[in-house]
Structure 1
């Protein structure tokens, strides 16, 4: 399975309208496309970073959607008052303890590993990081998006609410340090987001 993420640095006054546009128009268009298996939207109002991610059941389906999706994506970015940055990923890991509810929060961690150690890093995430995350209070789900060619990866971990994500900052920092020690990964960025839209139908993949 594969994913395409669109990141927009939004205008603060347009974020709510942008969420509504993506929920009411973009999502309906996307879910009607062959091979699309869902969409999510993350919002950090402080940094103004908004990330819309669509999931696809095959690389061919994701590629075939590009021409039709491009004007939709540009319009969505305009509704948020920014310009789109597009990235494509393989969905390497999905684990869901339970479905999210309104008020859920997501911690995203961007990191890079040497492509020669890519498989090892994914194995460490799957066998060591994921069980540790699943024990944390308020854990909802975790997803690992990867680009094996460049070694760039994103871990997206959903918690039940703002209190849970705040309470897990220190233990997650410890898990992150252990992961970098074991894999040589370089942490590029960490962000915390509202889960503004959650309509992914990606099956368990561990």
Structure 2
């Protein structure tokens, strides 16, 4: 599958309005688009960050949805958003796991790599990293997103609750260090978010 991410930052006091708009008007808009396969909304209440991810069955479906969503996005994110960045990725690996409830946690790792190493990154995550993540208490799902042409990507690991997210930090740090070395990727950012909702239909 393929994904579009929207990363917005702004005034934490206005974050709730954006979340409400995405969960109501934004959800309805996405559901109407052909090829839509699910979405997630993740937030950092303290800093005022919002990450939304929409899932699409093809590049064409994602592209065709973009005209409508691009026109409506400013309205949905105001008055919260001061900055907005939109990116497109291939979902190279997906472990849908179990449905995660609001209040769970997401750990996001942004990586860079030589474009020629994209397959190595995917294979390493699928066969070496993911099985070890599954053993972490509270693991609820994971995915690897790749932009092969630009040599950029991100991994997202979901946990059932905030406690499990915090408790997993040491364990995932070891997996991350060893996986990055094997996959020849450079970790450029590490973030944590609260899950507002996360739902993807992988079948």
| Alignment correspondent of 1:129 | 129
Is 1:190 matched up with 2:184? no
Is 1:165 matched up with 2:165? yes
Is 1:156 matched up with 2:156? yes
TM-score by length of 2: 0.96
- Asked if the contact 2:21/2:77 (under 8 Å) is kept, the reply is no
Segments of 5+ residues of structure 1 without an aligned counterpart are none
| Alignment correspondent of 2:20 | 20
Structure 2 CA distance, aligned partners of 1:133 and 1:26? 31
> Match of 2:82, SS?
coil
- Asked if the contact 2:12/2:49 (under 8 Å) is kept, the reply is no
Structure 1 CA distance, aligned partners of 2:122 and 2:47? 29
Shift of 1:79: 3.9
TM-score by length of 1: 0.94
Cα RMSD of the aligned pairs, angstroms, is 1.2
| Alignment correspondent of 1:174 | 174
- Asked if the contact 2:96/2:202 (under 8 Å) is kept, the reply is no
| Alignment correspondent of 1:55 | 55
Shift of 1:76: 1.9
Shift of 1:56: 0.7
- Asked if the contact 1:74/1:83 (under 8 Å) is kept, the reply is no
Shift of 1:96: 2.9
| Alignment correspondent of 1:105 | 105
Regions of 4+ moved over 4 Å: none
Segments of 5+ residues of structure 2 without an aligned counterpart are none
- Asked if the contact 2:100/2:197 (under 8 Å) is kept, the reply is no
Structure 2 CA distance, aligned partners of 1:98 and 1:52? 19
| Alignment correspondent of 2:68 | 68
- Asked if the contact 1:143/1:155 (under 8 Å) is kept, the reply is yes
133-142 or 11-20: bigger deviation: 11-20
Structure 2 CA distance, aligned partners of 1:7 and 1:184? 26
Shift of 1:98: 1.6
| Alignment correspondent of 1:45 | 45
1:42-71 CA distances to partner (integer Å, 9 max, x unpaired)?
A: 101223211111111110111111211112
| Alignment correspondent of 1:86 | 86
Shift of 1:116: 1.2
| Alignment correspondent of 1:4 | 4
